[in-house]
Amino acid sequence: MRILGVDPGTLVTGFGLIEAQGSRLIHLGHGTVRTSSRTCLAERLAAIYEELCRVVREFPPDALAVEKVFVAANVVSAMKLCHARGIALLAGAQHRIPVYEYSALQVKSAVVGYGKASKNQVQQMTRMILKLPATAPADAADALAVAICHVHSHALEDKLGRLAAASSKGLLPP
């Protein structure tokens, strides 16, 4: 299963691509889409969309995982973040890729084991988990972490689904 993780932002959007082969995670690539605050929001969103679509066309993922919006003190910043998230969701929907959303707490817990981990801890753990030669930039590391979170969550959902199916068929002891 190939997963594209996205950490949305209007100035910097991180993306990371991994492949799960059984319990093994393989790093396929990562990067950032950087825009200028001097450019109008519509043009920044278009640039983010175009780059995410390019990545999807070049490395077609089986799933797209996006970080959910956190509660922000600055409403204007939160709204801009929502726009960038919407672009990531649109890129997935336009390419018929299932989209999954995870909170920062879920992502940090899946990668570091602690929901209030620092950005540096997330960067170091993504480097270790994916055996990267160097630490990925913060936004790309966050995107890789979202993809890793999806692998762990998806595997758990599969196991729970199989257990529920076996239980409903009377294959499990009461």
Strand, helix or coil for residue 58: helix
**Residue 148 one-letter amino acid:** I
Q: Where are the beta strands (DSSP E) in 35-160?
A: 63-67, 99-102
67 noted as active-site residue: yes
Closest CA relative to residue 94, chosen from 67, 55, 140: 55
Question: Measured between alpha carbons, how far is 15 from 65 in angstroms, rounded to an integer?
Answer: 10
139 noted as active-site residue: yes
Catalytic residue among 139, 142, 157, 158: 139
User: Up-side HSE of residue 136: CA atoms within 13 Å toward CB?
Assistant: 30
Catalytic residue among 43, 67, 157, 158: 67
Catalytic residue among 7, 50, 51, 58: 7
Question: Measured between alpha carbons, how far is 8 from 35 in angstroms, rounded to an integer?
Answer: 12
Residues designated as active site? 7, 67, 139
